[in-house]
Structure 1
Amino acid sequence: MTMKYAVVTGGTSGMGLGVAKMLLSKGYYVFATYVGSDFTEKIENFEALKIDQTNRIEVYKFIDYVKSKTDHLDCLHCNAGISIRKSFTEYEDKDWDAMMEVAVNSHYIICREFFPIIPPGSRILFTGSQMGVDPHAMVLAYGVTKSAVHALCKNLVKEFEGTGTTINTVVPGFVETPWQKEKPEDIKQNIYKKTAIHRFATIDEIVDAFRFCIDNPFVNGSLIEVNGGYNYK
Structure 2
Amino acid sequence: MTGGAPRTALVTGAGRGIGRAIAEHLGRAGTVVAVHYGRDDASAAQTVKNVRAAGGEAFPVRAELTAPGAVDLLAAGVEDGLRERTGSTGLDILVNNAGIGCRADITTITREDLDRVFEINVKAPVFVVQRLLPLMRDGGRIVNVSSVANRIAHPHVLGYAMSKGALEAFSRSLAAQLGSRGITVNTVAPGLIETDLHRERMRAYPEDAAQAAAMTVFGRLGQADDVAGVVAFLASEEARWMTGERVETTGGAYL
| Range of TM-score over shorter length | over 0.9
Alignment of 1:111-122 (within 5 A): 111-122=129-140
Alignment of 1:214-225 (within 5 A): 214-215=235-236, 216-225=239-248
- What amino acid is aligned across from residue 138 of structure 2 in structure 1? P
Matching residue of 2:6: 3
Aligned residues: 232
The answer to whether structure 1 residue 30 and structure 2 residue 33 are counterparts is yes
- What amino acid is aligned across from residue 38 of structure 1 in structure 2? D
Matching residue of 2:169: 151
Matching residue of 2:107: 89
The answer to whether structure 1 residue 55 and structure 2 residue 93 are counterparts is no
Q: 1:186 aligns with which of 207, 224, 238?
A: 207
Q: 2:195 aligns with which of 169, 172, 177?
A: 177
Gaps of 5+ in 1: none
- Offset at residue 213 of structure 1 (A): 1.0
- Offset at residue 220 of structure 1 (A): 1.1
> Residues 133-173 of structure 1: CA distance to partner in whole angstroms, max 9, x if unpaired?
11202111111111111111111112212222111111111
- Would the aligned equivalents of 1:121 and 1:166 in 2 still touch at CA under 8 Å? yes
The answer to whether structure 1 residue 76 and structure 2 residue 76 are counterparts is no
Q: Report the Cα distance in structure 2 between the residues aligned to 1:3 and 1:213, rounded to whole angstroms.
A: 17
Q: Report the Cα distance in structure 1 between the residues aligned to 2:100 and 2:129, rounded to whole angstroms.
A: 19
What's the TM-score once normalised by structure 2's chain length? 0.85
- Offset at residue 199 of structure 1 (A): 2.0
- Would the aligned equivalents of 1:76 and 1:123 in 2 still touch at CA under 8 Å? yes
- Offset at residue 187 of structure 1 (A): 2.0
Which segment is superposed worse, 49-58 or 192-201? 192-201
- Would the aligned equivalents of 1:56 and 1:106 in 2 still touch at CA under 8 Å? no
- What amino acid is aligned across from residue 250 of structure 2 in structure 1? N
Superposition CA RMSD, Å: 1.7
What's the TM-score once normalised by structure 1's chain length? 0.92
Matching residue of 1:129: 147
SS of equivalent residue, structure 2 residue 18: helix
SS of equivalent residue, structure 1 residue 170: strand
Distance 1:217 1:103, change over 3 A: same
- What amino acid is aligned across from residue 8 of structure 1 in structure 2? V
- What amino acid is aligned across from residue 8 of structure 2 in structure 1? Y
Q: 2:127 aligns with which of 109, 113, 120?
A: 109
SS of equivalent residue, structure 2 residue 194: coil
- Would the aligned equivalents of 2:176 and 2:244 in 1 still touch at CA under 8 Å? no
Q: Report the Cα distance in structure 2 between the residues aligned to 1:144 and 1:197, rounded to whole angstroms.
A: 28
The answer to whether structure 1 residue 66 and structure 2 residue 89 are counterparts is no
Q: Report the Cα distance in structure 2 between the residues aligned to 1:193 and 1:24, rounded to whole angstroms.
A: 32
- Would the aligned equivalents of 1:136 and 1:143 in 2 still touch at CA under 8 Å? yes
Matching residue of 2:24: 21
Which segment is superposed worse, 42-51 or 179-188? 42-51
Q: 1:210 aligns with which of 217, 221, 231?
A: 231
Q: Report the Cα distance in structure 1 between the residues aligned to 2:103 and 2:144, rounded to whole angstroms.
A: 22
